[in-house]
Structure formats: C-alpha cells, structure tokens
Amino acid sequence: MECVIFGNGEFSGFDIVSRFVDLDNTFTIAVDGGCNYLFEGNKRIDLVIGDFDSLKYKEVIYNNRHILKTDMDYNDLEIAMNYCLDNGFKKIYLFGFTGKRSDHFQFNIRTMQKFIESGLDVVMIDEFNIICGSIGCRIFDRGEYKFFSILPVYNGTVISICGSKYDLDNFSLNLMDTLTLSNEWVSEKVKISSNKLIFIYLIF
C-alpha cells in the first residue's frame, strides 16, 4: 500500500505531486502545517498529525481524523512514519519536507534513514530533487533527470556505478568523500550498487 505525507516545508504546488501520486486514491497524511497546503488546494485529508502549532485552519482538526502529538520525544514525521509502519503501508511519498529550516531537513533525512532500515520504501520529492534510499542494486532511467548524487550513510560503503559519466567499481566510500557529487547519465540507464544504505539524489 502507498501513502503520501505532507509537511510544512517548501511546497511548489500539486503539479509535482500528480506526477508521482494519485491523491484521489492514495491515503494522505497531513503533518501539522502540511494541512494548510491540502486545505487550500481542496484536497482530501485522511489523517492529521501534530501539535497543530503551524495550522492556519483549525477546522481541519475537527473535520478530520487526527492524532494530537503529546510525546515531544518524537517529531511529527516520525509519528506519521510509525503510523505507516504499523498500518501496513510500504511505499511512502514525502512532500513539503525540504526548504525553510535546514535543521528540520537534516532531521527529516535521519527519519527517512530510520524507516528505510525498518523496511519502508520512502522517497522525498520537491520541485528540484527526488531523494531516495537504496541498499543493494537499483537501476535508474535517465528520464527527465539532469544529474544524480550519492551520499553514504556509513563509512566503508562499497559502491559501484555503471552507465554514468563517472563510473565506479567496488569503491569504498566514506562519509567525508565528495567523489559521488553531481554525476551524469551517459546511457539511458544507470546501475547503482551498494553494500550499505546510501541516499541517491535525482536532480530534475
């Protein structure tokens, strides 16, 4: 099952969403201020999560099923992802989780890592990038992407890239390495393999 989660970060509009998700047929969670985008766009909301400090339209709380955050040991996205994990969702799309506060973005990436390693397929999307996690082997079509970058999560990540401008063969990548910043397709498909979790940034 698929789920889409909206946050309170930068959001360029629903055109980017419709390229990946059919909101009319996908379970939709609004995380706090993410409600504002959905409410203003007249979109369905299945669940609202947060302490609602960023919510412009308080009627959203009363008209929709909601979970009030009372445990400050977990951020709003973490609560939403736990809900997805507990309710059988496998593929999670995140919108509105980049831009604005850089600290929030960094912790959103950490939260992605936690739940990818728990078995969820999580992608974060904005008008400039798709950010996804990968362990093992994946193939990416060139499509509309201009560049891709790879960010390791752990030291000693062994990575191979085939079909790119800068191919690698079983290269041991460490956290401080910048070798995998801004690569390009030279064929229609790029194959990326790693023995540990990496984040792949696909740049439009």
pLDDT of res. 104: 81
Asked if residues 177 and 147 have their Cβ atoms less than 8 Å apart, the reply is no
pLDDT of res. 184: 96
Q: Could you tell me which residues are beta bridge partners of residue 28?
A: 4
pLDDT of res. 100: 77
pLDDT of res. 8: 87
pLDDT of res. 41: 86
Domain 2-127 has CATH 3.40.1440.60: no
pLDDT of res. 32: 79
pLDDT of res. 191: 97
- Where do the structural domains in the chain lie, given as residue ranges? 2-127, 132-203
Helices (H), 72-168: 76-86, 102-116
Question: Is this structure's pTM higher than 0.75?
Answer: yes
Q: How far apart are CA 86 and CA 89, in angstroms?
A: 8
Q: Could you tell me which residues are beta bridge partners of residue 147?
A: 203
Q: How far apart are the first and last CA of the chain?
A: 26
Block means of pLDDT (10 residues each) for the chain, 204 residues, are: 91 90 92 82 85 59 53 75 92 91 86 91 94 94 94 96 96 95 96 97 95
Asked if residues 36 and 55 have their Cβ atoms less than 8 Å apart, the reply is yes
pLDDT of res. 72: 56
pLDDT of res. 71: 53
CATH architecture entry for 132-203: Sandwich (2.60)
pLDDT of res. 101: 81
